Structure 1
Amino acid sequence: MAVSSLSFSSAALSKRLNVPLKPSCSWPTTIASTKDSSLDEQRNGNCKRRSLLIGVGVASLLPTKLLLAQEKPPNFDEFVDLEDGYSYYYPSDWREFDYRGHDSAFKDRYLQLHNVRLSFIPTDKKDIHDMGSIEKVVAHLVKHVYSTPNQVPDVFDMQERTTDGKNYYTFEYTLTSPNFARSAFATIAVGNGRYYTLIVGANDRRWRRFRNQLKVVADSFKVLDI
């Protein structure tokens, strides 16, 4: 599997984004989910799920580059949809559930906001680079798609990677409301005539504990040829 990646520093991003950009966190683990209301309306909520659940093994906090180059981490399972053309890892103790407008979703057995979900919409683009630069695409998504008028968006980090010839944007962000803050990772890619979006998060109280685990999920997303 060929893998390359490129990270953008906070200093460089802050000059190019129209959303507040904070330094990358060094916390050990967690995330918070967001509400993709605009995209939900465009997506087909009646998509059937075709899943192949594969058991896994390997450590949950291995560096991203090692994870992409080696076997699946322990305590993770893999969701593979061969018909819709994508796969990703999720913690093995999570359970599948219905998330409106999404093709697949898994959540913590106790907290519904601690989850991963995958959706896609049709596109005539061939690659995520055709959507625009990572700075432009992320700024638009976080400001106009993921956040609501009463939320303040912050982008912490952006990364580009290429896996098996396919390009991906992954970014970390937080949405802060007057009484609540949520953080998440999102990974987006284009392939098979579809614009894929994977978001994995949890409520802000769980951020420090689970951040690294959820980054494994975000970095595991792959588009499969169909």
Structure 2
Amino acid sequence: MALSSLSLNWVSTPLSNKLNVPHPNAFSCQNSIICPRETTSNEENNCKRRLLLLGAGILTARLLPTSPLLAEEIPKNYQAFVDPRDGYSYVCPSDWIDFEFIGHDSAFKDRYLQLQTVRVRFIPTDKKDIHDLGPVNEVVSNLVKHVYATPNQIVDIMDMQERNVDGKNYYTFEYKLTSPNYSSSSFATIAIANGRYYTLVVGANDRRWKRLRNKLKVVADSFRVLDI
């Protein structure tokens, strides 16, 4: 299958600075987090903590590419995360905090219920579009069963969707992983752009899934890849 041509050794790149930035094209822009393109390596290494310490800041418009996410209304009680340097954006609940998730480029979690998380990572690829990997049912089944799940977990894939937003294609799917002593449910969105294969996963303990499902679906559906 086409997916096998992609290395599954996920890579992580340092994040750029994250600043809360007012933006004239979004209704809830005080909740936006923007990563400027131009940063030093030291700034990149320290950025995640600086997000919380620096508070509100202002970037000149020339540093920011046009983001489809910021052209839309940010949902109430969500914050926008935009990383133009690495080419993606999404929203997450406004009370979630950023944290280090090994092998991922960005991650946020509920400050109290820490099994509720969203994280994004990417790997290089020579593919140009998510459809180059194959049909959605084949790609998703292979990914969940052979990448996301461990050998002792039971896999249930509940839903798969294909979307096209501003000419870019996305696969979004819902799945459940059950272990002998624990189960979790998640949404994932995958896309290809900029020579990168992007994956966003947002999930929670399965016992809370019914209560949180619609809230977390907003996160999965908000994922966008940006031209860099």
Same fold (TM over 0.5): yes
Counterpart in 2 of 1:121?
A: 123
| Letter paired with 1:204 | D
SS of 1:169's equivalent? strand
Counterpart in 2 of 1:49?
A: 15
Structure 2 Cα separation of the partners of residues 54 and 217 of structure 1: 20
* CA shift for structure 1 position 70: 4.7
* CA shift for structure 1 position 181: 1.1
Counterpart in 1 of 2:133?
A: 131
TM-score in terms of structure 2 length: 0.74
* CA shift for structure 1 position 68: 11
> Structure 1 unaligned runs (5+)?
1-37, 59-66
Q: Percent identity?
A: 66
Structure 2 Cα separation of the partners of residues 91 and 157 of structure 1: 23
* CA shift for structure 1 position 92: 0.4
CA distances 1:68-93 after superposition (whole Å, capped 9, x unpaired): 99511011000000100000001000
Structure 2 Cα separation of the partners of residues 53 and 144 of structure 1: 38
Give the conservation status (yes or no) of the 8 Å contact 1:189–1:197: yes
After superposition, the Cα gap between the structure-2 partners of 1:69 and 1:49, relative to the gap in structure 1 and judged at 3 Å, is closer
Counterpart in 2 of 1:95?
A: 97
Count the aligned residue pairs. Answer: 178
Counterpart in 2 of 1:34?
A: none
Structure 1 Cα separation of the partners of residues 161 and 204 of structure 2: 20
After superposition, the Cα gap between the structure-2 partners of 1:182 and 1:54, relative to the gap in structure 1 and judged at 3 Å, is farther
SS of 2:187's equivalent? strand
After superposition, the Cα gap between the structure-2 partners of 1:143 and 1:68, relative to the gap in structure 1 and judged at 3 Å, is farther
| Letter paired with 1:77 | Q
* CA shift for structure 1 position 112: 2.1
| Letter paired with 1:168 | Y
Structure 2 Cα separation of the partners of residues 100 and 149 of structure 1: 21
Structure 1 Cα separation of the partners of residues 19 and 158 of structure 2: 33
Counterpart in 1 of 2:194?
A: 192
Structure 2 Cα separation of the partners of residues 152 and 84 of structure 1: 34
Q: Residues 158-173 of structure 1: matches in 2 within 5 Å?
A: 158-173=160-175
Structure 2 Cα separation of the partners of residues 98 and 152 of structure 1: 27
Structure 1 Cα separation of the partners of residues 167 and 20 of structure 2: 25
After superposition, the Cα gap between the structure-2 partners of 1:163 and 1:177, relative to the gap in structure 1 and judged at 3 Å, is same
Could you say which structure has the larger radius of gyration?
2
| Letter paired with 1:49 | L
Displaced runs of 4 or more, over 4 A: 52-56, 67-70
Counterpart in 1 of 2:208?
A: 206
> Structure 2 unaligned runs (5+)?
1-6, 30-68
After superposition, the Cα gap between the structure-2 partners of 1:68 and 1:77, relative to the gap in structure 1 and judged at 3 Å, is closer
After superposition, the Cα gap between the structure-2 partners of 1:218 and 1:212, relative to the gap in structure 1 and judged at 3 Å, is same
- Residue 178 in structure 1 maps to residue 144 in structure 2: no
* CA shift for structure 1 position 52: 4.7
After superposition, the Cα gap between the structure-2 partners of 1:80 and 1:69, relative to the gap in structure 1 and judged at 3 Å, is closer
SS of 1:142's equivalent? helix
Structure 2 Cα separation of the partners of residues 186 and 68 of structure 1: 21
SS of 1:78's equivalent? strand
After superposition, the Cα gap between the structure-2 partners of 1:148 and 1:130, relative to the gap in structure 1 and judged at 3 Å, is same
| Letter paired with 1:102 | H
SS of 1:110's equivalent? coil
CA distances 1:25-73 after superposition (whole Å, capped 9, x unpaired): xxxxxxxxxxxxx94xx1224x211235457649xxxxxxxx9995110
SS of 2:208's equivalent? helix
